A and B are shown apart, each in its own frame.
Chain A
Amino acid sequence: MTSMSGRDFFTRRYEQLGWRFKNVEPRQAIRINSAKGEKAGTVQRLAQRGVELEKIPFLEDGYWVMASRFSVGATSEYLVGLYSIQEAAAQIPATLFEDLKDTIALDACAAPGGKTVQLADLMQNAGAIIALDVDKRRLTVLSNQLERCHVRNTIVYCRDAREASKLRVKFDRILLDVPCSGNFAIDKAWFSRRTLRDVQENARAQREILAEAAQALRDDGEIVYSTCSLEPEEDELNVDWAIRNLGLKTVSIECHGEKALSNVLDRQLDPTVENARRIWPEQTQGFFVCKLTKQGQPS
């Protein structure tokens, strides 16, 4: 029987998906909290401290940390909330929503809070975010992030994303940065830790979260679904499943990454799955992102 794990198994799959494996080292990135300070001023202050930044071309508020003599997580600019340390690809999902201001948004798998803070920033601290996570320790980290970045519009609950509809709130925007298998670029032991079975189990849980989100979404609302997994079960196949089973449809997005696959390992998917973006690891980690709305809504 062929092993469904290990470096050879997974890298062979990536090749079948159209990407040749290479070892990568994603760069450290920060995101300027524009609600808290003036962007150019923050960049300048960091430059004066000897932190060399380079604008990330595909992000409005993102910068690569090219060089720094000390941890960028220990400056007074960081501690007063002028910026957050946030991986570049992970900065993409929150930027894909339309008109966030004054909406009611759900961040269904919120801890440790980087994207929650980003959402609050994009919402200019108005409207409301409900942030859920099941891990109390991680919720404490999330709370600290909200305090550090002066977020005022968020309610946090210790609750599973699969219970979102019990909140009895219909959401305008839902961010589903779902728990996933991760990828080798951010986890050096990834190939020895992960099996296809793990991937399939995660994919099942992700479908349950997607189904719950579809229930909690307003008719004219938007879902952004993302993972940092390269495995199609957690990415294209789940989106295809959501189109076929949840009355959702994909929406075309303009962002970093390549068109997602509509033919996966000889399986033909709904052609609109291509509207999603697949990001193979290079300067960023591996990532997948897709925007969904309810079928029958204008694109």
Chain B
Amino acid sequence: MRPITDFMNSIHAQIQLDEALLVKKKDRYYLLNDKLKKLVSRDFFHAGTYLGKTKDGTFFPSFALLTQIAEGKANKVMVGDRAEWLFICGRDIFARGITEVIGSGRKGGYTLVMNKHGECLGFGRIAGNLQAKSNVVAVKNISDVGDFLRRERRRA
């Protein structure tokens, strides 16, 4: 649970995860519901909501966890269409692509990246002034939903 709560704190997220429904398998974390908890056996491949994994001591949140976090209070930047497209292609976000900032914009902190429809596209590290409206990188991409496509391509 610790890596997850540490990550949530780093992004100023305020959601509650029921620890009794949390399961860890190898380096991966899953959140069950009551019904799944009664049914699940140890040899599962995937169960409930995949929350993320730890690798070399670092926690990598899943998009399901990021989306859950985005439903509540957390650091967020809203981006326009062009910045959205570049971000899901794996690129960083320039300050001029940001239309709104919610929560802390402190350099070095983490923030969710949201599109104009309020959907979470991933997250990144704040690298510059979010309000600058300039061509300077404001959010360094750490993880974006384009990864679903990249995973498919890697598999092929």
Near A by CB (< 8 A), chain B positions 44-68 give 44-50, 62-64, 67
Q: Shortest beta-carbon distance, A180 to chain B, in Å?
A: 23
- Inter-subunit contact B146/A128 (CB<8 Å): no
Q: Contact string, A96-139, partner B, CB cutoff 8 A, digits 1/0?
A: 00000000100000000000000000000001101000001101
- Inter-subunit contact A155/B63 (CB<8 Å): no
Q: Shortest beta-carbon distance, A246 to chain B, in Å?
A: 25
The CA-CA distance from A130 to B35 in the complex, in Å, is: 11
Task: Find chain A residues with CB under 8 A from B84 CB.
Answer: 76
- Inter-subunit contact B62/A156 (CB<8 Å): no
Task: Find chain A residues with CB under 8 A from B132 CB.
Answer: none
Cβ of A67 < 8 Å from any Cβ of B?
no
The CA-CA distance from A137 to B156 in the complex, in Å, is: 11
A80 and B149 in contact, given A147-B64, A155-B40, A156-B45 (Cβ under 8 angstroms): no
Which of A76, A144, A154, A167 contacts B88 (CB under 8 A)?
A76
The CA-CA distance from A153 to B36 in the complex, in Å, is: 7
A76 and B85 in contact, given A139-B45, A143-B45 (Cβ under 8 angstroms): yes
Cβ of B26 < 8 Å from any Cβ of A?
no
Cβ of A140 < 8 Å from any Cβ of B?
yes
Which of B47, B49, B62, B121 contacts A76 (CB under 8 A)?
B121
Chain B residue at minimal CB-CB distance from A129: B36
- Inter-subunit contact B35/A146 (CB<8 Å): no
Q: Shortest beta-carbon distance, A106 to chain B, in Å?
A: 11
The CA-CA distance from A253 to B52 in the complex, in Å, is: 41
Task: Find chain A residues with CB under 8 A from B146 CB.
Answer: 79
Which of A45, A80, A140, A147 contacts B120 (CB under 8 A)?
A80
- Inter-subunit contact B155/A153 (CB<8 Å): no
- Inter-subunit contact B155/A141 (CB<8 Å): yes
Near A by CB (< 8 A), chain B positions 114-131 give 115, 117, 119-121
Q: Contact string, B24-37, partner A, CB cutoff 8 A, digits 1/0?
A: 00000001010110
Chain B residue at minimal CB-CB distance from A74: B149
Task: Find chain B residues with CB under 8 A from A14 CB.
Answer: none
The CA-CA distance from A79 to B87 in the complex, in Å, is: 12
The CA-CA distance from A155 to B39 in the complex, in Å, is: 9
The CA-CA distance from A154 to B47 in the complex, in Å, is: 6
- Inter-subunit contact B33/A148 (CB<8 Å): no
The CA-CA distance from A104 to B46 in the complex, in Å, is: 17
Cβ of B2 < 8 Å from any Cβ of A?
no
Cβ of B43 < 8 Å from any Cβ of A?
yes
A137 and B155 in contact, given A79-B88, A80-B119, A150-B67 (Cβ under 8 angstroms): yes
- Inter-subunit contact A156/B119 (CB<8 Å): no
* Candidate in B41, B46, B63, B152 with the most chain A CB atoms within 10 angstroms: B46
Q: Shortest beta-carbon distance, B153 to chain A, in Å?
A: 11
Task: Find chain B residues with CB under 8 A from A191 CB.
Answer: none
Q: Shortest beta-carbon distance, A124 to chain B, in Å?
A: 12
- Inter-subunit contact A79/B39 (CB<8 Å): no
11 CB-based A-B contacts, threshold 8 Å: A45-B117, A76-B121, A79-B146, A128-B39, A136-B45, A139-B46, A144-B151, A150-B67, A152-B31, A152-B64, A158-B43
Residues on B close to A: CB < 8 A? Answer: 31, 33, 35-36, 39-41, 43-50, 62-64, 67, 84-85, 88, 115, 117, 119-121, 145-146, 148-149, 151-152, 155
Residues on A close to B: CB < 8 A? Answer: 45, 73-74, 76, 79-80, 104, 127-128, 130, 136-137, 139-144, 146-148, 150, 152-158, 167, 169
What 4 pairs between A and B have smallest CB-CB spacing? Answer: A79-B145, A156-B46, A156-B45, A143-B46
17 further interface pairs, Cβ-Cβ under 8 Å (given A128-B39, A146-B50, A152-B48): A76-B119, A79-B148, A80-B67, A80-B121, A80-B145, A128-B33, A136-B45, A141-B155, A143-B50, A144-B148, A147-B50, A152-B49, A154-B47, A156-B45, A156-B46, A157-B44, A158-B45
